[in-house]
Amino acid sequence: GNSVTQMEGPVTLSEEAFLTINCTYTATGYPSLFWYVQYPGEGLQLLLKATKADDKGSNKGFEATYRKETTSFHLEKGSVQVSDSAVYFCALSDPDSGGSNYKLTFGKGTLLTVNP
Amino acid sequence: NAGVTQTPKFRILKIGQSMTLQCAQDMNHNYMYWYRQDPGMGLKLIYYSVGAGITDKGEVPNGYNVSRSTTEDFPLRLELAAPSQTSVYFCASRKDRFYNEQFFGPGTRLTVL
């Protein structure tokens, strides 16, 4: 079956530090990959996505590249801000997962705290 | 557009009580989903629907029921609340099979005592 493994948190960084959150996946077909962000007390919001190998998703200074050879989709940001403090979820949607009708499979989430 | 809305935001139930979590979307999306989020466990799919009148079980359906009488609404019913159902519940919608992005509501925090 499909699965997503994310780097264990929590992650604590100082403002302007470089961020990497690792994500690897297992899927039966050719999935689309996503990063969702959840700010405190809110629902999940799509941060970025990539639908095929070597695609790079980017948004708000965050980037992630779909690496089929390493089955990875690591999230990076060059300079984090206090406002980036949130929980980040890696997820995949596998159209070949039969009766699952394109459900999202989530990782467990990584809590990021950025200190001033 | 309001997007995906959920009510209530918070609720405390006693063991054995019943309640319905409401979810509505105004984007004319065909697909709708219910997830629960437990601490450190990510999101687990409870039920989903691909259109009005069509629902199916997800990974953790026991103790829950759903209905989809309209495109807009997808309520989640808890019949006999148990402490194991203490969680945060998220509803999500998706346009159709050609669009991957799911849009999430703000969540309902449920505590069963």
The pLDDT value recorded for residue A67 is 96
For chain A, what is the mean pLDDT? 91
Interface check B104 vs A, CB under 8 A: yes
Interface check A103 vs B, CB under 8 A: yes
| pLDDT exceeds cutoff 60 at A101 | no
| pLDDT exceeds cutoff 70 at A97 | no
Interface check B105 vs A, CB under 8 A: yes
Which of A43, A102, A104 lies at the smallest CB-CB distance from B106? A43
Q: Which residues of B29-52 are buried (b: 16+ CB within 10 A; e: fewer)?
A: bbbbbbbbbeeeebbbbbbbbbeb
Verify whether the Cβ–Cβ distance B42 to A42 is below 8 Å.
Answer: no
Verify whether the Cβ–Cβ distance A106 to B43 is below 8 Å.
Answer: yes
Residues of B within 8 A of A50 (CB-CB) are none
Residues of A within 8 A of B48 (CB-CB) are 101, 103
| pLDDT exceeds cutoff 60 at A99 | no
Q: What is the rounded average pLDDT of the residues B58-67?
A: 95
The CA distance from B68 to B22, in Å, is 11
Using pLDDT thresholds of 50, 70 and 90, give the confidence band for residue A94.
confident
Using pLDDT thresholds of 50, 70 and 90, give the confidence band for residue A95.
low
B89 strand-pairing partners: B36, B108
For chain B, what is the mean pLDDT? 93
Q: What is the rounded average pLDDT of the residues A1-24?
A: 93
| pLDDT exceeds cutoff 60 at A111 | yes
The pLDDT value recorded for residue A116 is 95
Question: DSSP letter at B74?
Answer: -
| pLDDT exceeds cutoff 60 at A100 | no
Taking the CA of residue B65 and the nearest CA in chain A, the distance in Å comes to 18
Give the H or E element holding residue B52: none
Question: Per-residue pLDDT tens for B7-31?
Answer: 999 999 999 999 999 999 999 999 9
How many interchain CB pairs under 8 A, A with B?
54
3-state secondary structure of B42: coil
Q: What is the rounded average pLDDT of the residues A75-102?
A: 84
Question: Per-residue pLDDT tens for A28-75?
Answer: 778 899 999 999 888 899 999 999 999 999 999 999 999 999 999 999
The pLDDT value recorded for residue A103 is 79
Which of A43, A102, A108 lies at the smallest CB-CB distance from B42? A108
The pLDDT value recorded for residue A20 is 97
Verify whether the Cβ–Cβ distance A103 to B45 is below 8 Å.
Answer: yes
Which of B40, B41, B48 lies at the smallest CB-CB distance from A103? B48
Using pLDDT thresholds of 50, 70 and 90, give the confidence band for residue A98.
low
The pLDDT value recorded for residue A58 is 97
